[in-house]
Structures are given as structure tokens and as C-alpha cells.
Amino acid sequence: MLKAITILSALAVLPIAGCGGQNDASSGGISPEQEQNSGPAADNADTPDVVGAVSGAEASQIADDYLEILSKFAAAIEGVTDEPSAQEAAETIAGLNDDMTSLADAFEELTAVQKSAMYIEHAQDFLSEQTRLADALTRVATENPELIEALQTEFEKMPALEN
């Protein structure tokens, strides 16, 4: 059961970590480079003269991809009823972790303003999918705690999207 609690605790940080808070480099917040890329020009990141910025459409695609991955995580866990289905879910999660790693790299390219806008625009959808995933994990942990072990290794590898 402790392993189930560990996974559920990790799930709390699965979503996008860093929604606000500190805002200076010394406190682990926005770096000087991010600060330069978070002004009015960053708000207009769709314009070609903003070097290195990601467009608003690309930021929206990152959010959509994240929601799709969360949905696949939840579906994999929802299907866990026995040892073979837990192993299958673990394999699915391993593949999704690769997708999350790529997504985390793309997320790093967003400016602080784009990240904030993405959080605001998709907050309800993020919460809905994260709740679905948490509910599925809670069901497995409650009904079949021995199956959590098959999933734990892959969940521990899951990258978070951070500022």
C-alpha cells in the first residue's frame, strides 16, 4: 500500500509543475533569459522577428499533446484488472514516458508568458484528465494493491513539465 501512496503522491506532480510562484533567478524562478523572452514581444511570439520563440499555435499543440498523453495514461490504468493487464499498462506507460520526454523538451522552449497562457487556457482540461488518472490509480491501489508494483517503475520515470 505504501507503493500505491508513493505513486499517488508522484501523480500530484505529474501535471505541469510550476504554475506561478517564484519569479526571480535566485529563488529558482524565471532566469534572466526567460525574463527577456516574457515581455510584450513574447506575447506576440507568432511574429517571425521574435528569435527562438515558439508560436502560440505550437504552444496550443503542446497542451493538446499533453492532454492526449494524459488520456492515454488514464486509459492504460483504467484497463488494469490483473497481472497481465498491469504489465501491458506498464509497457504503454513506458512508451508514453518517451512521448512525455519529447513534450517536456518542447515545453522548455515556451516563454513564461506562453506557459502561463497555456495553463489558463487548458486548466479545466488538465484537471479533468489528471483527476481521471488519479481515480484510476486509486481504484487499482485499493482493489489490487499488488498490481501497483508493475506500474511504479514506469511512473517513477515520468518527466514533469516544469518552468
Spatial separation of the C-alpha atoms in residues 158 and 94, rounded to whole Å: 8
Percent of the chain with pLDDT over 90: 42
Round the average pLDDT of the chain to a whole number and report it.
75
pTM for the model stands at 0.67
pLDDT tens by residue, 44-100: 444 333 434 557 788 889 999 999 999 999 999 999 999 999 999 999 999 999 899
Choose among 76, 56, 69: nearest CA to 161. Answer: 69
Least confident range of 16-20, 55-59, 82-86, 138-142: 16-20
Instruction: Please tell me the distance from the alpha carbon of residue 55 to that of residue 58, in angstroms, as a whole number.
Output: 5
Looking at residue 8, its pLDDT comes to 47
Contact 54, 45 (CB under 8 A): yes
